[in-house]
Amino acid sequence: MTWDVVIGLEVHVQLATRSKIFSGASASFGAEPNSQACAIDLAMPGMLPVLNADAVRMAATFGLAIDAELPAESVFDRKNYFYPDLPKGYQISQFERPIVGRGHLDLKLPGGGVRRIGITRAHLEEDAGKSLHEDFAGMTGIDLNRAGMPLLEVVSEPELRSAAEAAAYFRQIHVLVRYLGICDGNLNEGSMRCDANVSVRKSPSDPLGVRTEIKNLNSFRFLERAIEHEVARQIELIEAGGTVVRETLLYDPDRDETRPMRSKELSEDYRYFPEPDLLPVVLDTAQLDALRQGLPELPNAKRARFERDLALSAYDAEWLTSDPDVARYYEAVAATAGDPKLAANWVMGEWSAAMNRDAARTSPLAAEQLGRLIVRIKDGTISGKIAKTLFDALWKDPNKTVDDLIEAEDLTQVSDTAALAALVADVIRDNPEQVGQYRAGKTKVLGFFVGQLMKATQGKANPQALNELLKDALAEVRDR
């Protein structure tokens, strides 16, 4: 039988501030252990939190982008629990009055089509430190650099229906926060993490089944695999006559299994109460209006515009808008090149291959240079083949310009009909055997002649002119 799967996600977005959410300690990644944990992060006696204005701005920006209700006032609460990586014994979070209220995301479904997914809320909170369990002879090492990092926790409604949909939703939030510039999106540095609430039921009209929560998923692939695994486990359990228990699970990607988290065995009782050290946060209309004005073009709008105004295919538009840096680069290339489709081919082809090959984060080749290269293909100065050679040269030496290289290396395409015709005559004269085959109707041998001529011109022959000349010349031979 088929089962109805119900998934809700909590996505933790680490906000791209310079300093922490409640202290002036640096929020940069990869520093020496505890070198960025100040007295406030360490919960030294008498320390008081002061809220980072940019964390508030980024949270509100996210709220605007998902068309959410933004309450005039939001409140911080203490979430109480003991763990060695939480020095205060409580986490400052938001419970009853989060900064971002109900909104939504129009999810592009993996099988095509769009469905609106409700976002229940998004709240600000501080991250905890990191526990390291290896190599300390029975002890656990604690690094508190991450303590106090600003997080925006985005909670979806339980409206996702499969592991693939959940992964698509996570991806789309990832793209959105990068467009908004509020998160660097580096999953391998923990900048985005995700908890999945999973339950199954026999029919969509049944009440929701008992759910389990899978914690700390930090890649799209693990999220999808963990949910697939958990759905299968729940179905198997119920079909064998068992019942699902509400529990918190950790996914182990090496073994492809979920197991209960020991620290969560005690039923959760966080005893939330309003944080007395922080006053309510106010978002006024003027501030929200200014933020709304400053919103960038969002991924869905950009994709639609690429299809509509640049006449790109749905596939190309999707590909080019899935990363804001790529989209920005492409737009600059297309603007210089004056040919959106050809620019798309180059960005998606040579450029992206070179970026991947070199694992480059920023392009060594300026967009304007690539644009000018495309202009020279379009105006017939160089052939597509030569352009690829030039691309490699420009990639290696970004200080050179397209026109310098064309001149220096004498790469201008040979379109001079008389010169080409002489070469065509030579090739026909030197290869009587292939001419014979062609005359016998084996027209494929044309490729052989083109190859010979390209060799003779070092690839500079204008392929169109060449083809025409060659066909005419061979037809003449055949007629004789």
Partner 1 sequence: MTILEKDIDKLCALARLGLDADERSAARTDLERMIAMADAIAAVDTSGVVPLAHPLDATARLRADEVTEAVDRDAFQALAPLTHDGLYLVPRVIE
Note the residues at the interface with partner 1 (CB under 8 A): 17-19, 23-27, 32-40, 42, 50-56, 73, 75, 80, 82-84, 96-97, 131-133, 136, 138-144, 250, 261-263, 266, 269, 271, 274, 276, 278-282
For the bound state, the minimum distance from the C-beta of residue 263 to partner 1, rounded and expressed in Å, comes to 6
Smallest distance from partner 1 to CB 89, Å: 9
Three-state secondary structure call for residue 480: coil
CB-nearer residue toward partner 1: 52 or 120: 52
Q: Which residues contact 165 (CB under 8 A, 6 or more apart)?
A: 7, 107, 109, 110
Q: Report in angstroms how near the CB of residue 270 gets to partner 1 at its nearest.
A: 9
Q: How far is the CB of 272 from partner 1 (least distance, A)?
A: 12
CB of 181 to partner 1, least distance (A): 13
Our CB check for partner 1 shows the closer of 158 and 274 to be 274
What is d(CA 362, CA 320) in angstroms, rounded to the nearest whole number? 15
Smallest gap from residue 268 Cβ to partner 1 (A): 10
**Quick check: 364 and 391 in contact, CB under 8 A?**
no
Q: Which is nearer to partner 1, 40 or 105 (CB)?
A: 40
- Between residues 137 and 418, which has the closer beta carbon with respect to partner 1? 137
The string of DSSP letters for 349-398 reads IIIHHHHHHTT-SS-SS-HHHHHHHHHHHHTTSS-HHHHHHHHHHHHH-T
Between 110 and 274, CB nearer to partner 1: 274
Residue 20 is classified by DSSP as -
Nearer to partner 1, 215 or 372 (CB): 215
3-state SS assignment for residue 272: coil
> What 3-state class would DSSP assign to 260?
strand
Token match 């986490």: residue? Answer: 91
153: CB partners within 8 A, 6+ apart: 10, 11, 12, 13, 93, 122, 123, 125
